[in-house]
Structure 1
Amino acid sequence: MNRRVHHFGECSLDIAARELRRDRVRVDLPPTVFDCIAYLVEHRDRAVGRDELVAAVWGKASVSDTMLGKAILAARRAVGDSAETQALLRTVPRFGYHWVGPVTVEDAVPAPAIAGEAIDLAAPADVPTPVRPSRSDSRRWLLAALVLGLAVVAGLAWLRIRPPEAPPEAPATVARAADGLPGDAIAVLPAEVFATDDDAWLRLGLMDLIATRLRTAGLPVLASDGIVRLVRPGVEGEAAIAAVRVALDVRHLVLPAVRRTGKGWVVHADLIEPDGTRRPLQAEADSAIAAGDTVVERLLGQFGRSVPTPAAAMELSATELVQRIDAARLADDTAGARALIEGAAPALRDLPAVRLRGALVDLRTGRFAEGRAALDALLADVSAETDPVLHARVQDGLCIALNRLGQMDAGLAACDRAIALLETRNQPALLGHTYNDRGVIHARMQRHALAQADFARARIALSLAGDPLLLARVDSNESTLEMAQGRQAEALPIQQRAARQFERFGLIDELMISLANQIGAHLALLQPASALAASDQGWSYLGRVQDRDVRNLFRHQRAGALEENGRLGEARILLDEMIREADASRDWPQRAIAQVSLAGLDLRLGETETALLLARQALPHLPGPEFDRSRATGWRIATQALRVLGRLPEAAEEVRAFRAWAATTGDPMVRLDAMLAEAGQAAAEGRSGEARTLYAQAMDLARQRGAANTAGRVVEAYAGFLLAQGDLAQASTVVGMAARYADVDFDAALLEVRLYHALGRADAWRDALATARRLAGERPIPAALLRAPGSEPALGNGS
């Protein structure tokens, strides 16, 4: 796909690379400002309404006029325009905005060549049914089986200094902003540090200390993780304020600063109101932590809150160590966090708060067995009676570790214990995390109703906590659940909204998960070009992905997008890489799913023996309900390969075993694959009446429960059977069910070629063949279909 660069005035805009240059110099912009420019440039043929722009950029129905005005002002400044001249971006009174500046567009990268089939009019006239696997669903259901489990790793951001055992009760009702955050939300910005390089940790450490203390007192403070994503290193003062104001609709901002003096430390904080009014607060003490605590007391006084008394306050040196560790974590420096823990004095290293952070660093870096062992040891030392909140945090960490180790029943039990402790305490952020983690496990176990209920509870708790990033993760999980139940059209807009939020905050792993989900949804809806576009968007980020499972997931989904766009060679390379690079000790599910996909590709290309070998290698490594649909796809490919090889008795034995297993799963899509295998076997053995009945039943089930690609898979198999039987009337009806996709989907187009060839309709065949050639890429068109059909037969009832 071509990458386009837009040129206007002195600027160039590369939307795919998310880069604006002015006079060839890169202009760093807040994500929402960039999105405003990109959307208006792309829709420059018309005026864009205010509500449309807000929905496209912020992903919500309402944003304050002030926030939108600031974004437009920043956009104009970035491109050298102004509200007075409006040479590029014009305000349309009482409506919205219109990009009026001249724009030229050029390709940044040449489009890859896609080879097509040549028409051979001398090809033989007989048209055998092409051997082609039914469209594989394994990549689609990798989402339901894997992505939800991955999402919890990104959710380790809940790590905070220990709150008091009995914090104040939350108010019964909380005013909400349009994005689900509290209407009186507070954002604490990174601190400006006027000291030595050794004190640089205070930029995030002091920020998180103030935010945590305020949140502990019951105030709606946004999570530090999201603020760090918006305010990058080097962004300070007014620029930091603008970055947060443009992206988030928060009422109060706290801008801290810390300075070393001859006697100690001075911490200053400005409490900034929506109108820009500042209320300065300051304290001096022997340490930055102590001065910060005094500033927090004065901030609480401004909000009419008293200072909660911790159940057991840590020593000052311990508090500083914890804040240093948290500062490293906020900066995504897991190696730095681990070094701080390992380099601490034994007495500090043995503190429960420090041990918990060490275990969570293990989980964040994929050391799940080590993290579980550390959490088990900590659980023995921290009882639910002495410190219920810390005990609940440890249980939630175990929930995550056990889930990733495949011990889902034990993970559920850990989540249950954490939730039981948290439901009676005012800990909405931790409770929301734990509900989300439990929902993930329910979803992996195909308990969709229970998962949906947990995600709904998580949404309520996280709205109270004021965490837009975690709300976006819940969005992503909920839409993945929708996809797992065949509701891709409903899930797609939610995934796109979550992706915009992840990209805005720079959460690359979460963005790639969401894009992988979008690829799967587009493929399920028979939208291969849109799937490839989502794949191309993520491809430029792949080198920045930290989690190897996320990398494998995205590569697998991209392989699917490439295959469905006819780029088979590139798809094969990606799948081969996944299989070759897999770690046998931990990557066996991903390796097996890649083998299933490669088996389908090989069967399409006529490499039947290889396809059978790959499918059989994969099947033993796909146990458990989360992999049922991938296993069903592999089993269907194996039975089809055996029939192509003429090994009918062996195929019959496999079909019987497949059918018996499918009946135990309770999954209608698994039963559908088994039904297609059974129908294909009946047809191969000459039991035409039974095959026809099975295909008709499969068609009914696909219409009731499946997405467009599922129905397309059945149409392809059923129509092939009917054409082989000579029942052209019924074949016309079945092929017509996929006709609306023939302009965009190769297999649907090829079905029309086969039908019109069999009917002898030369003009219709020629048009359909042109469409199939346009879509084919590297996918072969059977030679017999390239010869013009003979005389047109009568349209009879068939046999």
Structure 2
Amino acid sequence: MSMRSDRYRFGDFLLDIRARELWHNGELVGLAVVAFDCLAYLVQHRDRPVGRDELIAAVWGRAEISESTLAHTVVRLRQVLGDNGNEQHSIRTLPRLGYRWVAPVDEDATLPLAVETDLSAPIIAHAPTQLVHTSPKRISLAFVAGAGLLVLGIAWVAARSRSEPELAPSSLQRPPSALQAAMVHPAKVEAPEKWIWLRLGLMDLVANRLRHGRLPTLPSELVLSLDNQSSRAQEAPKGVFLRVWPHAEFKRGRWLVRLEGLTQDGQHTEATAEANDVMEAAGLASDKLLAALGKTVPQGASNASPEIEHFLQQLAAARLAGHVPDALALLQKAPAEWTARPEVQLAAARVDCDRGAREACQTRLEALQTKVTWSNNAVLQAQVHVTLAWLHINRQQFDRAEGLLSQIIAKKGQLAASDVLGNAYSLRGWLHYANWRLSEASEDLGQARAIYLGTGNLRELARVDQRLGTVAERRGHLSSALASLNVAERQFENIGAQGDRMITLMALAGTHQQLLEFDKALAATDRYWSEEWTSNWGAALYRAWALTYNGRLREAETLLASAQAQSDPEEAPLMRAEAAALSARIALYRGEYAEAARLARRAASTELQESDRRDYLANALVLVQALQASGQSLEAGEEVRRLQTWVAAFDDDRLHAGAALARAEQAWTQGHRQEAFADFEVAWRYAERVGIPDILVAVGAAYGERLVEVGQFERAGAVSGRLSAWVEQDLRAARINARILQAMGNQSAVNAAFQSATRLAGERQIGGTPGSKGRMVVLSP
């Protein structure tokens, strides 16, 4: 047993770790679970810097949590403590390392921290940690984060041979549909304190057993992330048809396990079993519940002893609780014959990953590859391969990751339609997506979807739909993208996966913007937005872009400024590049050309270029137009040449349309009209081939403007006619429509058209209207 203070004072704050409370001047401060755990860890380890990986492992218990999620949590803590990104009085950022607590601390009391050292008295699982989902600007990053959740979750299923269960209780009147799930809550345990780990361990065991019986069941970590999950008064997510409360009672050397169920429409059911071993009793009760639901009781035997099964489930409980030190203590005290077993070695590797020791994790996994063969344990070998693939992805070793995943898929005949095979297809699908092999991505994701539909893994099924939507968007199939993303968003809402839902709504907003449905894009952000997300870069950026496209520039600027003020200057370089790109666009809309050019240059970072080619192109076009409008023609020409060289490396018609448009505008600025019209025609052909409204309008409005200027009204009318479908929703289409009417001399129609354009413009400068000066921005929406 070790000694550690449980109460700390700093400034006007009192941190009571045992009570899990933070007080400020005598008032209790509301703090999210992960924020509290982060604060406690930093204060308790204030004698040294704490690395980001270490802090993520200590607080979340899983290595795949992104650094942006950690940064968001630190920002929220700084708000509570009176710090900000620049004035770091309490939590100091250490560039390229992590954080350190720097405020003076007084230890208020010394109390023992229970750490068991005897395996006969198992580790006490700490309070469950709430999951916080990252919401990055680029959906591709969310794609990676989602893939990580596939591999590092609890994979062990208690499936050892049991005696035949007693007759099951009468079947429920309404069986579940294929897209409804069960939800298993933390268990109530009436037993000596050494068994308190069963609160989460039994919950996870029952959930895995139900899932093994082909009953869709929410992941335990998702259940723990829902607020007040232990309250029966709380309304369950819409897609949950059955809630299950396990009870375990130890009396006279025997275990009684009772599973109490309540369906969505108020039906009650109960399954009870008794045995000498708590896990056997839980398995029997779970089988009865499955039978009551008309599900096949899972068969199969494990060659592990009851002691090993207990040990593995304790490790699972410690990981669910987010307390890696407990898991490490278990492994350190385990007998050598236990830790030599492959399933324990896999669990130990995952604990290494959880605590950020990725080299140690990889060493264990590679050793396991040689001990386990595809013939004697294909599932475990596949789990090793998937976890190794994730480690390689973290290091951007994509070829090595793809090779491992392809090995799994080549053995699909030995894996049947299992979740681990679905994970391999899904993760390889993301790798194809990241490398712009979009047809292959769609094929792999389709395979994953079929597998998850069969296994009832509703969360991963929804994630695949989300990823299929992002692939369709990248391919320019925007209607298909909307369909897949809407399905995913509804399913995430149904199962209560709010972080995944928010990321999907961001993707929906981006797709609506390409369709020029700017009101729908803003409405999509309305569905997740609240002020608490201001310091979350991804959430704030998508919201700010949507506001900008609706002409609400001041609101967008205020939101950007607030997000930047609350964030750490050392964090999220990609997000800062995206913010600079949006600020440059806003300056351009206002006619502040020098400022637009300055900001666009700042945004043109390697991070932006590598994150998304099309965002990089859009920012380059803003830079070119700002330089042209401010009379810096030579500088603009240099940027156009640089853009052309970059675009030439890609087979992407959208990029080539943008490069041709930039060349055309530059030639026009320099007085080379014949050359300009040739490039406008090239850009227009690319835009017609792509067929995306955003691209058509960007090119068509610019081309039409120049045609009107030289009196080619017939050709201008033909080009602008292709944009007529969007004159009521896009400023550029409305503006060129008004210009054509003006050239035709229909004054009453001209006034109405310019009024429509003014309405769409909001706070944007449009130019060319009666009584105004300047030309409207046409190179980007």
TM-score by structure 2 length?
Answer: 0.69
Residue 563 (structure 1) aligned with residue 559 (structure 2): no
Q: Relative to structure 1, is the Cα distance of residues 579 and 271 closer, same or farther in structure 2, using a 3 angstrom cutoff?
A: closer
Q: Match for residue 62 of structure 1? A: none
How do 1:230-245 residues align onto structure 2 when only pairs under 5 Å count?
A: 233-235=229-231
Q: Relative to structure 1, is the Cα distance of residues 413 and 256 closer, same or farther in structure 2, using a 3 angstrom cutoff?
A: same
Shift in Å, 1:556: 1.9
Higher deviation after alignment, 427-436 or 470-479: 427-436
Shift in Å, 1:340: 2.7
2:612 to 608, 619, 627: 627
Confirm or deny: 8 A CA contact 1:190 1:203 kept in the other structure.
Answer: no
C-alpha distance in structure 2 between counterparts of 1:231 and 1:589, whole Å: 31
Q: Deviations over 1:39-94 (max 9, x none)?
A: xxxxxxxxxxxxxxxxxxxxxxxxxxxxxxxxxxxxxxxxxxxxxxxxxxxxxxxx
Confirm or deny: 8 A CA contact 1:165 1:389 kept in the other structure.
Answer: no
Q: Relative to structure 1, is the Cα distance of residues 279 and 360 closer, same or farther in structure 2, using a 3 angstrom cutoff?
A: same
1:787 to 764, 771, 779: 771
Q: Relative to structure 1, is the Cα distance of residues 423 and 558 closer, same or farther in structure 2, using a 3 angstrom cutoff?
A: farther
Q: Percent identity?
A: 27
Q: Relative to structure 1, is the Cα distance of residues 165 and 361 closer, same or farther in structure 2, using a 3 angstrom cutoff?
A: same
Read off the aligned partner of 1:456 and give its amino acid letter.
Answer: G
Q: Deviations over 1:181-233 (max 9, x none)?
A: 5xxx98474365252695665354223213434655x6555354467778963
2:147 to 136, 148, 152: 152
Q: Match for residue 239 of structure 2? A: 247
Q: Deviations over 1:706-750 (max 9, x none)?
A: 421111111221122223323333333333332332222233323
Give the secondary-structure state (helix, strand or coil) at the position aligned to 2:301: coil
Q: Relative to structure 1, is the Cα distance of residues 209 and 742 closer, same or farther in structure 2, using a 3 angstrom cutoff?
A: same
Higher deviation after alignment, 530-539 or 716-725: 716-725
Q: Match for residue 308 of structure 1? A: 300
C-alpha distance in structure 1 between counterparts of 2:750 and 2:181, whole Å: 65
Read off the aligned partner of 2:546 and give its amino acid letter.
Answer: A
Shift in Å, 1:558: 1.2
Read off the aligned partner of 1:684 and give its amino acid letter.
Answer: T
Read off the aligned partner of 1:208 and give its amino acid letter.
Answer: D
C-alpha distance in structure 2 between counterparts of 1:503 and 1:668, whole Å: 36
Q: Match for residue 284 of structure 1? A: 275
Read off the aligned partner of 2:467 and give its amino acid letter.
Answer: N
Q: Match for residue 468 of structure 1? A: 458
C-alpha distance in structure 2 between counterparts of 1:755 and 1:640, whole Å: 23
C-alpha distance in structure 2 between counterparts of 1:411 and 1:665, whole Å: 24
Shift in Å, 1:591: 2.8
Q: Match for residue 29 of structure 2? A: none
Residue 733 (structure 1) aligned with residue 713 (structure 2): no
Gaps of 5+ in 2: 1-135, 162-174, 774-781
Q: Match for residue 340 of structure 1? A: 326
Residue 752 (structure 1) aligned with residue 743 (structure 2): no
Give the secondary-structure state (helix, strand or coil) at the position aligned to 2:249: strand
Shift in Å, 1:412: 1.9
Q: Match for residue 438 of structure 1? A: 428
Give the secondary-structure state (helix, strand or coil) at the position aligned to 2:591: coil
Q: Match for residue 677 of structure 2? A: 692
Confirm or deny: 8 A CA contact 1:384 1:391 kept in the other structure.
Answer: no
Confirm or deny: 8 A CA contact 1:446 1:626 kept in the other structure.
Answer: no
Shift in Å, 1:665: 0.9
C-alpha distance in structure 2 between counterparts of 1:149 and 1:717, whole Å: 37
1:209 to 195, 205, 211: 205
C-alpha distance in structure 2 between counterparts of 1:451 and 1:571, whole Å: 35
Give the secondary-structure state (helix, strand or coil) at the position aligned to 2:649: helix
Shift in Å, 1:561: 0.4
C-alpha distance in structure 2 between counterparts of 1:719 and 1:474, whole Å: 41
TM-score by structure 1 length?
Answer: 0.67
Q: Deviations over 1:98-156 (max 9, x none)?
A: xxxxxxxxxxxxxxxxxxxxxxxxxxxxxxxxxxxxxxxxxxx9646434233324445
C-alpha distance in structure 2 between counterparts of 1:229 and 1:682, whole Å: 57
Confirm or deny: 8 A CA contact 2:657 2:682 kept in the other structure.
Answer: no
Confirm or deny: 8 A CA contact 1:372 1:402 kept in the other structure.
Answer: no
C-alpha distance in structure 2 between counterparts of 1:144 and 1:667, whole Å: 19
Q: Relative to structure 1, is the Cα distance of residues 658 and 562 closer, same or farther in structure 2, using a 3 angstrom cutoff?
A: same
Q: Match for residue 517 of structure 1? A: 507
Read off the aligned partner of 2:146 and give its amino acid letter.
Answer: A
Residue 645 (structure 1) aligned with residue 630 (structure 2): yes
How do 1:432-581 residues align onto structure 2 when only pairs under 5 Å count?
A: 432-540=422-530, 543=533, 551-576=536-561
Q: Relative to structure 1, is the Cα distance of residues 163 and 409 closer, same or farther in structure 2, using a 3 angstrom cutoff?
A: farther
2:708 to 705, 711, 723: 723
Give the secondary-structure state (helix, strand or coil) at the position aligned to 1:344: helix
Q: Relative to structure 1, is the Cα distance of residues 732 and 362 closer, same or farther in structure 2, using a 3 angstrom cutoff?
A: farther
Shift in Å, 1:584: 7.5
Q: Match for residue 50 of structure 2? A: none
Q: Relative to structure 1, is the Cα distance of residues 735 and 249 closer, same or farther in structure 2, using a 3 angstrom cutoff?
A: same
Q: Match for residue 587 of structure 1? A: 572
Higher deviation after alignment, 154-163 or 658-667: 154-163
Confirm or deny: 8 A CA contact 2:262 2:268 kept in the other structure.
Answer: yes
C-alpha distance in structure 1 between counterparts of 2:744 and 2:442, whole Å: 49
Read off the aligned partner of 2:156 and give its amino acid letter.
Answer: I
C-alpha distance in structure 2 between counterparts of 1:412 and 1:489, whole Å: 30
How do 1:91-130 residues align onto structure 2 when only pairs under 5 Å count?
A: none
Q: Relative to structure 1, is the Cα distance of residues 428 and 234 closer, same or farther in structure 2, using a 3 angstrom cutoff?
A: same
Give the secondary-structure state (helix, strand or coil) at the position aligned to 1:382: helix
C-alpha distance in structure 1 between counterparts of 2:456 and 2:670, whole Å: 63
Confirm or deny: 8 A CA contact 1:679 1:691 kept in the other structure.
Answer: yes
Q: Relative to structure 1, is the Cα distance of residues 590 and 404 closer, same or farther in structure 2, using a 3 angstrom cutoff?
A: farther
Q: Relative to structure 1, is the Cα distance of residues 327 and 426 closer, same or farther in structure 2, using a 3 angstrom cutoff?
A: farther
Q: Relative to structure 1, is the Cα distance of residues 633 and 348 closer, same or farther in structure 2, using a 3 angstrom cutoff?
A: farther
Shift in Å, 1:674: 0.7
Read off the aligned partner of 2:239 and give its amino acid letter.
Answer: A
Q: Relative to structure 1, is the Cα distance of residues 278 and 566 closer, same or farther in structure 2, using a 3 angstrom cutoff?
A: closer
1:664 to 628, 649, 652: 649
Confirm or deny: 8 A CA contact 1:579 1:595 kept in the other structure.
Answer: no
Q: Match for residue 260 of structure 1? A: 250
Shift in Å, 1:774: 2.3
Read off the aligned partner of 1:748 and give its amino acid letter.
Answer: A
2:217 to 217, 222, 227: 222
C-alpha distance in structure 1 between counterparts of 2:352 and 2:729, whole Å: 46
Give the secondary-structure state (helix, strand or coil) at the position aligned to 1:785: coil
Q: Relative to structure 1, is the Cα distance of residues 430 and 632 closer, same or farther in structure 2, using a 3 angstrom cutoff?
A: same
Shift in Å, 1:616: 2.8
Q: Relative to structure 1, is the Cα distance of residues 623 and 766 closer, same or farther in structure 2, using a 3 angstrom cutoff?
A: closer
- What is the aligned-residue RMSD (CA, Å)? 4.0
Give the secondary-structure state (helix, strand or coil) at the position aligned to 1:282: strand
Q: Match for residue 364 of structure 2? A: 378
Give the secondary-structure state (helix, strand or coil) at the position aligned to 2:715: helix
1:394 to 366, 384, 398: 384
Q: Relative to structure 1, is the Cα distance of residues 193 and 779 closer, same or farther in structure 2, using a 3 angstrom cutoff?
A: same
Q: Relative to structure 1, is the Cα distance of residues 243 and 383 closer, same or farther in structure 2, using a 3 angstrom cutoff?
A: same
C-alpha distance in structure 1 between counterparts of 2:772 and 2:291, whole Å: 86
Q: Relative to structure 1, is the Cα distance of residues 572 and 187 closer, same or farther in structure 2, using a 3 angstrom cutoff?
A: closer
C-alpha distance in structure 1 between counterparts of 2:691 and 2:530, whole Å: 32
Confirm or deny: 8 A CA contact 1:158 1:430 kept in the other structure.
Answer: no
Confirm or deny: 8 A CA contact 1:672 1:698 kept in the other structure.
Answer: yes
Q: Number of aligned pairs?
A: 613
Confirm or deny: 8 A CA contact 1:572 1:598 kept in the other structure.
Answer: yes
Shift in Å, 1:624: 6.8
Greater relative CO (CA pairs within 8 A, separation 6+) = 1
C-alpha distance in structure 2 between counterparts of 1:619 and 1:417, whole Å: 39
C-alpha distance in structure 1 between counterparts of 2:388 and 2:146, whole Å: 15
Give the secondary-structure state (helix, strand or coil) at the position aligned to 2:156: coil
Confirm or deny: 8 A CA contact 2:502 2:528 kept in the other structure.
Answer: yes
C-alpha distance in structure 2 between counterparts of 1:339 and 1:434, whole Å: 30
